[in-house]
Amino acid sequence: MLNLVLFGPPGAGKGTQSAKLVERFQLIHLSTGDLLRSEISSGTSLGLEAKQLMDKGILVPDEVVIGMIRSKLTTNPEAKGFIFDGFPRTIAQAEALDNLLIELKTSINGMLALEVNDDELIKRLLNRGKDSGRSDDQNESIITNRIKEYNNKTAPLANYYSAQGKYTGINGIGSLEDIFNALCNAIENIK
């Protein structure tokens, strides 16, 4: 199996590039952001709880997202591999993912980290907010809160995967095609 973590701050291009990578490498795309938004649009109690936090730019509790990922992994036994997009976002989530993959007799092959500066992230997300109506992209204070959550809770994962020799940094500024090609080259080296 080929299991990849696509990593980066909010607005780095994880969702955008995942869509292209799943097609190229025939992997299953697991985005905790998308899974949570689908719970919100279905009006489930999990979705209602998550929305309160997401609208403030705060991470939802680890056990909620770990539960969602567990159920997706176990319902796709024939998968060639997975792209984890926006997950893990905390050390506890990364440890849980490692343990889940051990149960499935597989592991993470590599983490690809999209590197983008804060000014560009804010610009992209405010821009997306205009078209998508996504409530967490509507104003700069929510976006800066998401970046703060990322720096406090998620950025340490770079060291977690570096310590396992699995970290590759990729410049996330440039055309979608150039970034996609850089990701594909890195994946060919990991496979």
**Binding segment toward ligand B4P, per CB under 6 A, in 21-29, 40-48, 53-61, 183-191:** 53-61
Q: Is 51 in the site for ligand B4P (CB under 6 A)?
A: no
Binding residue for ligand B4P, selected from 27, 36, 83, 112, defined by CB under 6 A: 36
Binding residue for ligand B4P, selected from 12, 79, 83, 170, defined by CB under 6 A: 12
Q: Is 72 in the site for ligand B4P (CB under 6 A)?
A: no
Binding residue for ligand B4P, selected from 3, 5, 16, 112, defined by CB under 6 A: 16
**Binding segment toward ligand B4P, per CB under 6 A, in 10-18, 40-48, 96-104, 162-170:** 10-18
**Binding segment toward ligand B4P, per CB under 6 A, in 54-62, 73-81, 96-104, 182-190:** 54-62
DSSP assignment of 130-163:
HHH--GGGS-HHHHHHHHHHIIIIITTHHHHHHH
**Full strand arrangement of the beta sheet holding 2-7:** 28-31, 81-85, 2-7, 110-115, 167-171
**Binding segment toward ligand B4P, per CB under 6 A, in 22-30, 32-40, 100-108, 160-168:** 32-40
Is 28 in a helix, a strand, or coil? strand
Number of residues engaging ligand B4P in binding (CB under 6 A): 27
- Contact present, 143 and 10 (Cβ < 8 Å): yes
Taking the complex as a whole, the smallest distance from the CB of residue 163 to ligand B4P amounts, in Å, to 20
Q: Is the dihedral of CA 110, 83, 69, 169 positive or negative?
A: positive
Q: How far apart are CA 146 and CA 125, in angstroms?
A: 11
- Contact present, 144 and 119 (Cβ < 8 Å): no
Look up tokens 């567990």; give the residue: 70
Q: Is 53 in the site for ligand B4P (CB under 6 A)?
A: yes
Q: How far apart are CA 60 and CA 146, in angstroms?
A: 12
Residue 108: count of CB within 10 angstroms of its CB: 20
What part of residues 109-168 is at the interface with ligand B4P (CB under 6 A)?
Answer: 124, 128, 136, 146
- Interface ranges with ligand B4P (CB under 6 A): 10-16, 32-33, 36, 53-54, 57-60, 65, 86-87, 89, 93, 124, 128, 136, 146, 176, 179
